[in-house]
Amino acid sequence: MGLIVLDEYETKRVSGVRPSGGDVAVAESEDLARRITLRWLRGETLDVTAGSHIGVVNLECASIHVRPKLLGSELAVLEMLDYAAGLHALRDLPLVQQLGSGLNLRDLVCLLLTRECDRLLRHGLRRDYLRREEALPVVRGRLLADRQVMRRFGMLDRLECRYDERSADIIDNRLCGAALQVAARGAHDAGVRGRARRLAADFTAVCRLDGFDVRAAADRLTYDRANEHYRNAHRWALMLLGGTSFSSLYASSGGMTHAFMIDMNGLFEDFVIRLLRDAFAGSGVAVRAQESLTRAVRGGVDSYTSIQPDVQLVGQRGAATRRFSVDAKYKLYADKNVAASDLYQSFVYAQAVGGSSETPTAFIAYASDRDVPPKSVSLHRRDGKVAAHVTYVAINVPEVQRSVSRREALFAELRKLMTP
């Protein structure tokens, strides 16, 4: 199986790639087409066009790795995810960097999953009381007299009982076990695969995985003092298993063995939201993410449709409440003008979110690989008066992730620019 490596938004044409019937079906699947475009041309030539998703697509004839262009490494993407989602899972980062050198994105997630699950095993797997109902030779718990009469009338060799048993066969452990089995089968690196296999055996020894519904488990997950230490393991597990209801973890999967990719658009949006929340913490400015404006666009007196800025910043200045919108764009606007469509969108947000007492203002936070001064554009009416301002601000993602002091400097800049 050959290796095809390209950057996000890059197109590459590779000859000598003969697809199997399964490869063609995978390439034509609607789910995969939303993340990467694969087309077979004449002469066993594969045309690959990457978009904003980075990660791994495993075919029978080739393995395709889409690398992050802005961040430079898959580990940097996971550091970005770790900060955006508030995981705090990349403890002992030098060790992760040493262990994860040369691993693809999926194998890095498998590695982080095994590290968290190993911690859980050393801590001692959690147990909880589960309700059981079965026929036993002696009474245990409560005798179910009605069921005994209906099922075993006149027979006393077995008694229908209901009892509570302390067991490790609970959702917390089953979710980890299911993800470890996927890692044991799907990891490319032999060391990661072997480690996952050993840990999977430990988990399956105490919990059943047959018939386990990952989606239902994700919907039922809640955390308290008893299982808070499982949170990081669960998030890497859900990411590996396809994201399920944890859409904030950005991963999508085209099946257990075909694709593991992260949507950098969604990740950058959450990264900006987290930066703004940290920047304005304790300042009195409310950071409201993904709050819909249901009556912004109307047809007559009725609501026609809603609009949803990525973030609204709400602050008080005297008796007046001021609001700014912030839209996160994973686009490299450092060397070019903001796209007209993004400007139009932000001008609409400014008008819809801002009040009538001052000129409505909106912001675009875009990804950059270096520091760039903020730039502003204005919307003018025919009489020359300014109808709205849009300021676009560069987020130097590599530097912000690399340096805590640089992140603090960014916080100060954001407060200076965006305080309502």
Q: Residue 376, Cβ neighbours under 10 Å: how many?
A: 12
Residue 271 lies in a domain: no
Examine the pLDDT at 364 and tell me if it is beyond 90.
yes
- Beta carbons of 92 and 162 less than 8 angstroms apart: no
pLDDT mean over 89-110? 73
Q: Is the pLDDT of residue 376 over 50?
A: yes
In whole angstroms, give the CA distance from residue 245 to residue 254: 15
Q: Which residues are CB-contacts of 33 (< 8 A; sequence separation ≥ 6)?
A: none
Edge-to-edge strands of the sheet including 142-143? Answer: 128-136, 159-167, 142-143
Whether residue 274 is contained in a domain is answered as: no
In terms of pLDDT, which residue wins out, 177 or 292?
Answer: 177
User: 117 and 133 in one domain?
Assistant: no
pLDDT in tens, 160-199: 999 888 899 899 999 999 999 999 988 888 999 999 999 9
Which helix (H) or strand (E) covers residue 418, if one does?
A: helix 404-418
Q: Are 262 and 314 part of one and the same domain?
A: no
Q: Per mean pLDDT, which of 16-25, 269-278, 328-337 is the most reliable?
A: 269-278
In a shared domain, residues 153 and 79: no
* 311 & 391 share domain: yes
Residue 217 lies inside a defined structural domain of this protein:
yes
% of the chain exceeding 90 in pLDDT: 44
The lowest-confidence range among 71-75, 118-122, 138-142 is 71-75
249 falls in which pLDDT band (50, 70, 90)?
very low
> What residue ranges in 254-337 does DSSP mark as E strands?
259-263, 286-289, 293-299, 302-307, 311-317, 320-329
CA-to-CA distance for 26 and 303, rounded, in angstroms? 41
Least confident of 24-28, 135-139, 144-148, 395-399: 24-28
Is pLDDT at 128 greater than 50 in this prediction? yes
| Res. 59: pLDDT tops 90 | no
Judgement on whether residues 223 and 364 belong to the same structural domain of the protein:
no
**Integer CA distances (angstroms), 175 to 106, 129, 240, 254, 260, in order:** 18, 17, 11, 19, 18
Q: Are both 394 and 249 inside the same structural domain? A: no
Tokens of 383: 């009489």
Cβ(238)–Cβ(178) below 8 Å: no
Residue 1 pLDDT class (50, 70, 90 cuts): low
Q: Are residues 319 and 178 in the same domain?
A: no
Confidence of residue 2 (pLDDT cuts 50, 70, 90): confident
Q: Are residues 23 and 49 in the same domain?
A: yes
Shared domain for 322 and 411, answered yes or no, is yes
1 vs 132: which has the higher pLDDT: 132
CA-wise closest residue to 60 among 94, 20, 102: 20
Q: Would you say residue 243 has pLDDT above 50?
A: no
pLDDT digits (tens, 9 = 90+) for 294-346: 777 777 666 677 788 999 999 988 778 889 999 999 998 988 899 999 999 99
Residue 252 binned pLDDT confidence (cut-offs 50, 70, 90)? very low
> In this predicted structure, what is the pLDDT of residue 246?
35
- Looking at the domain assignment, is residue 23 inside a domain? yes
- In DSSP terms, 48 is beta-bridged to 12, 38
- What confidence tier does 201 reach under pLDDT thresholds 50, 70, 90? very high
Which residue shows structure tokens 């063609």?
24
Averaged pLDDT for residues 104-111: 88
Distances in Å between the Cα of 281 and the Cα atoms of 164, 284, 391, 411 are: 45, 8, 22, 10
pLDDT: which is higher, 50 or 305: 50
| Total structural domains within the chain | 3
Q: Does residue 66 register a pLDDT over 60?
A: yes
Q: Which domain holds residue 22?
A: 2-124+170-266
The rounded mean pLDDT for the chain is: 86
Residue at 272 is within a domain: no
Q: Quick one: tokens of 343? A: 């400007």
Query: Same structural domain for residues 89 and 214?
Result: yes
Q: What was the pLDDT predicted at 177?
A: 94
DSSP annotation of 335 reads G
Residue located via tokens 């938004």: 9
Is the pLDDT at 49 greater than 90? The verdict is yes
